[in-house]
C-alpha cells in the first residue's frame, strides 16, 4: 500500500512501521499506513504540533511552540506568555479567566517574579504558598523566593503589567494559576 500524507487540518496516515505509534497517535490521525514516505519530516512536524502535548515541552525558540495561542519559549519550555492563563479545557492560553474558573493548579516560571507584591506570607514551602493563593479570590500569581523562603501573592496580572516581570532571579519562581 502506498502511503500519501496530507497535511493541514488532519493527517491521513502515520508514516513509519512502528505499530506502537499507531495507538499513541490514534486520536490525532484518521488512518494509519505502513510504508515510510518522503513526507517523514512534515508528518513529524504535524504530529509535534497537533498530537504531542505542547505545554512545558522543551524548546529553543518561540517557533518551537504553537503559534497564535499566546505561547512562548520561556527558559527552555513552551509556556503561556506570562499573564495568560493556560486553559485546561481549551488547550490554549487565554487572557482572562473568571475567578469561578480558576484552578488550584499553577504554571511555574522559573527564575522569575512580579515586582508588585501585594501580600507577604511566611512561606516554608511553595505548596502552602500556592494553597493560600488558590483560596484567595484576588490572587492571580505567586512569587516564591527560595532564599530566604518568602511567599508573595499578587493581584496584578503580568499581562497587564509586563514591566514588573523580573526574569533573572535564580532564587525565585513565578506561579500563574491555570483556568478550567
Instruction: Kindly report, residue by residue over 22-48, the tens digit of the pLDDT.
Output: 444 444 443 433 334 444 555 555 555
Question: What pLDDT, on a 0 to 100 scale, did the predictor assign at position 175?
Answer: 94
Residue bearing the bigger pLDDT, 16 or 103: 103
Question: What pLDDT, on a 0 to 100 scale, did the predictor assign at position 41?
Answer: 54
Task: Give residue for cell 487565554.
Answer: 94
Question: What pLDDT, on a 0 to 100 scale, did the predictor assign at position 87?
Answer: 93
Q: How far apart are CA 68 and CA 92, in angstroms?
A: 9
Q: Which residues pair with 78 in a beta bridge?
A: 73
Q: Which residues pair with 102 in a beta bridge?
A: 179
Lowest mean per-residue pLDDT among 13-27, 93-107, 132-146: 13-27
- Domains of the chain (ranges; CATH) run 1-52 (no CATH), 62-179 (3.50.4.10)
Answer whether 66's CB lies under 8 Å from 160's CB. Answer: no
Residue bearing the bigger pLDDT, 166 or 80: 80
Question: What pLDDT, on a 0 to 100 scale, did the predictor assign at position 46?
Answer: 57
Q: What is the pLDDT of residues 53-67, one digit of tens each?
A: 899 999 999 999 987
Q: What is the pLDDT of residues 72-121, one digit of tens each?
A: 999 999 999 999 999 999 999 999 999 899 999 999 999 998 887 677 77
Amino acid at each position: 500500500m502506498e502511503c500519501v500524507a496530507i497535511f493541514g487540518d488532519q493527517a491521513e496516515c502515520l508514516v513509519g512501521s512502528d505499530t506502537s505509534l499507531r495507538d499513541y497517535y490514534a486520536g490525532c490521525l484518521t488512518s494509519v499506513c505502513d510504508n515510510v514516505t518522503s513526507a517523514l519530516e512534515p508528518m513529524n512536524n504535524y504530529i509535534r504540533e497537533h498530537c504531542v502535548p505542547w505545554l512545558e515541552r522543551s524548546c529553543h525558540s518561540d517557533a518551537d511552540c504553537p503559534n497564535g495561542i499566546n505561547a512562548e519559549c520561556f527558559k527552555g519550555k513552551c509556556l503561556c506568555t506570562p499573564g495568560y492563563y493556560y486553559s485546561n479545557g481549551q488547550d490554549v492560553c487565554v487572557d482572562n479567566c473568571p475567578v469561578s474558573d480558576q484552578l488550584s493548579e499553577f504554571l511555574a516560571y522559573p527564575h522569575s517574579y512580579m515586582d508588585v507584591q501585594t501580600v507577604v506570607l511566611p512561606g516554608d514551602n511553595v505548596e502552602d504558598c500556592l494553597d493560600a493563593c488558590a483560596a484567595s479570590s484576588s490572587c492571580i500569581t505567586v512569587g516564591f523566593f527560595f532564599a530566604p523562603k518568602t511567599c508573595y501573592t499578587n493581584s496584578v496580572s503580568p499581562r497587564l503589567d509586563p514591566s514588573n516581570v523580573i526574569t533573572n532571579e535564580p532564587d525565585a519562581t513565578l506561579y500563574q494559576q491555570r483556568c478550567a
